[in-house]
Structure 1
Amino acid sequence: MDALKLQRRLGVTPDNQIGPATLTALFLRFGAKLDVAQELGLAAAVHFRTYGILDAPLRLVHFIGQCGHESGSFRYMEEIASGADYEGRADLGNSQPGDGKRYKGRGPIQLTGRANYRADGATFGIDLERHPEIVAMPSIGLLTSCLYWSRTGLNALADTDDGIAIGRSINRGNPRSAKPANGEAERTAFTARVRALVLG
């Protein structure tokens, strides 16, 4: 990745390091408010390296494109809908009354369902099942999004530039689904904007 070119396009000090300042500017460019962008940028400077998202430009392009779409241009770290539609969903582990609303989508990729909150919490050593609301914190939400990205093999799909499969994995749970992801055209358009900035 040409860090200097990206930094010049973003208008930040060109130090050739993709760190918090550059990533904050990237989130700002794609819609995040300043305080959210700063928190996302700080977290991304750590987690993007841990999960290999900065290892190749296309990984960054697709991650920002998909997450930008899912989170309404990084404006929403919690699903706008109540979550009532998830009530009683056994596939999400929502086994108790109120689980649909309690474990609704949060974070840039919208972590959803008691079972997923429990599994991610066990991975991080954070009791997300007991405290699901903290996933709406931009830094925690970004961490869960990076874990999902890694766990489902989306770096490999990004390496082949398969945005359609990535979107279907995120929204349908299956990259080979014949059914389009919700907002598939919008996902593609958002990712194209990121591509133009990152790759030039």
Structure 2
Amino acid sequence: MNLTPLQKFQNSQCLDPDNDFGPLTIKAMRFAFSLSIEQTANFAGQCAHESNYFKRQFENLNYSYERLLQIFSHDFDTDRNRILSDEEKQVARILERKPQQIANFVYANQNGNGDEASGDGWLFRGRGPLQLTGRRNYQLFAAAMNDQEIMCNPDLVVTKYYFESALWYFESNNLWSIAKKTNRVAIKNLTKRVNGGYHGLQDRINKTINFEGWLRAA
């Protein structure tokens, strides 16, 4: 039986590996990662929202035609006139429900990736609670972990460094200082830095406050 990253963490902390992110697990997380109550609540709140309580391991790129046009309209707008022609929309039709081809197309020539033919988009697609994405970020993370094997086996971000990838994101983007408070302003600012916008803000607030309650309970 293959354990999930959450179960592996629970095992390492002598907890029941039930794959349920509850009070005992978050309290163990606080001490394992040497975080304050507020930092733990914020970290878990953001990650739990992004990863469905640490159950999502890989980026889901199995998009419909309609969803592709919603999320990646800029990538299909090759002439950058902000209007998708029938020809540009046809590319989305061709890519619909083809995750590997989608990744190689939308992530080409950005964040350190090569062109579409290089396959970097798929190889360095999102992994971990906060979706580590792109060759450049994988290189930086591999250096931080002192493990260059990550570059030829990116799945290590899931199988070996799942939580570390999210901790590294917080550290490398100077988010721990924002995470010292759990008021609405702090959570909103943190959401902007993690998400690039405010998608799911209320859910992130609810989770963070709930997790703080678990951590402060006797």
TM-score, normalised to structure 1, is 0.68
- Pair 1:21–1:58, CA change in 2 (3 A): farther
Aligned 8 A contact 1:20 1:44 in 2: no
Where 1:123 maps in the other structure, the secondary structure is helix
Q: Which residue of 1 aligns with 2:175?
A: 154
Aligned 8 A contact 1:24 1:42 in 2: no
Q: Distance in 2 between matches of 1:70 and 1:125?
A: 26
1:89, distance to aligned residue in structure 2 (A): 4.3
1:28, distance to aligned residue in structure 2 (A): 2.4
- Pair 1:103–1:165, CA change in 2 (3 A): same
- Pair 1:30–1:108, CA change in 2 (3 A): farther
Q: Which residue of 1 aligns with 2:9?
A: none
Match for 2:48 among 52, 65, 68? 68
Q: Distance in 1 between matches of 2:168 and 2:155?
A: 18
* Mapping of residues 19-30 of structure 1, within 5 Å: 20-21=13-14, 28-30=20-22
Q: Which residue of 2 aligns with 1:197?
A: 214
- Pair 1:132–1:44, CA change in 2 (3 A): farther
Q: Which residue of 2 aligns with 1:88?
A: 108
Instruction: Give the counterpart letter for 1:108 in structure 2.
Output: P
- Pair 1:45–1:68, CA change in 2 (3 A): same
1:171, distance to aligned residue in structure 2 (A): 1.5
Aligned 8 A contact 1:157 1:165 in 2: yes
Aligned 8 A contact 2:128 2:157 in 1: yes
Where 1:80 maps in the other structure, the secondary structure is coil
* Mapping of residues 86-165 of structure 1, within 5 Å: 86-90=106-110, 92-96=111-115, 97-127=118-148, 128-137=150-159, 139-161=160-182, 162-165=186-189
Match for 1:169 among 193, 203, 214? 193
- Pair 1:77–1:42, CA change in 2 (3 A): farther
Is 1:57 the equivalent of 2:37? yes
1:170, distance to aligned residue in structure 2 (A): 1.2
Q: Which residue of 2 aligns with 1:34?
A: none
Instruction: Give the counterpart letter for 2:112 in structure 1.
Output: G
Two-structure CA RMSD over aligned residues (Å): 3.0
Q: Distance in 1 between matches of 2:30 and 2:181?
A: 22
Q: Distance in 1 between matches of 2:108 and 2:134?
A: 10
Which 4+ runs in 1 deviate beyond 3 A? 21-25, 40-46
- 1:94-144 per-position Cα deviation (integer Å, ceiling 9, x unaligned): 11422111111111111111100011101211122221111122x402112
Asked which structure has the greater RCO (Cα within 8 Å, sep 6+), the reply is: 2
Q: Which residue of 2 aligns with 1:6?
A: none
Where 1:75 maps in the other structure, the secondary structure is coil
Instruction: Give the counterpart letter for 1:125 in structure 2.
Output: N
TM-score, normalised to structure 2, is 0.63
Q: Distance in 2 between matches of 1:23 and 1:191?
A: 23
Q: How many residues align?
A: 159
Instruction: Give the counterpart letter for 1:87 in structure 2.
Output: Y
